[in-house]
Amino acid sequence: MALKFYKDLVAWQKAMDLVTEIYRVTQKFPKHELFSLTSQLRRAAVSIPSNIAEGQGQLFKGDFKRFLGYARGSLSELETQIIISHNLDYLTEEEVTNLLDLATEVGRILNGLITFAKTK
């Protein structure tokens, strides 16, 4: 079975949902965080589906696995920044739970895709 076009990949779709939520919750962050934590969260979130898409567009199979690894690294970075945001009282308990649940789902799907990509 050939790998799908990146927009058809559930990992990409769920990562896009996560990006949307990150943008939504960071809109209420303090203005002094705009160029620091807000920017970091958004960049890490955007990096996840971006790396999935970029990896899918590469010519060599090994490149796709490498970019999926980058996406997984960005996901870990994002989870850390979500926790920092909560520690600073920028996110409610409910927002943190929702974001970390989404991140866990993305991670689970991404790990499955990585496993699949290793077999091809």
pLDDT reported for residue 92: 97
Pairwise CA distance, residues 10 & 120, whole Å: 18
Given CA atoms 42, 43, 44, 45 in this order, what sign does their dihedral have? Answer: positive
Per-run averaged pLDDT (10 residues), the chain, 120 residues: 75 97 97 96 98 87 90 98 98 98 98 87
pLDDT reported for residue 1: 39
> Any residues with CB less than 8 A from the CB of 113 and at least 6 apart, and which?
9, 11, 52, 68
Enumerate domains of the chain plus CATH numbers: 6-119 (1.20.1440.60)
Task: Count Cα atoms within 13 angstroms, Cβ side, for 94.
Answer: 1
pLDDT reported for residue 4: 61
> Any residues with CB less than 8 A from the CB of 103 and at least 6 apart, and which?
18, 75, 78, 79, 82
Given CA atoms 53, 96, 78, 90 in this order, what sign does their dihedral have? Answer: positive
pLDDT reported for residue 118: 82
Tokens linked to 66: 């490498």
pLDDT reported for residue 95: 98
Task: Count Cα atoms within 13 angstroms, Cβ side, for 67.
Answer: 21
pLDDT reported for residue 3: 52
Specify the pTM: 0.92
Pairwise CA distance, residues 34 & 55, whole Å: 29
pLDDT reported for residue 58: 81
Pairwise CA distance, residues 48 & 12, whole Å: 8
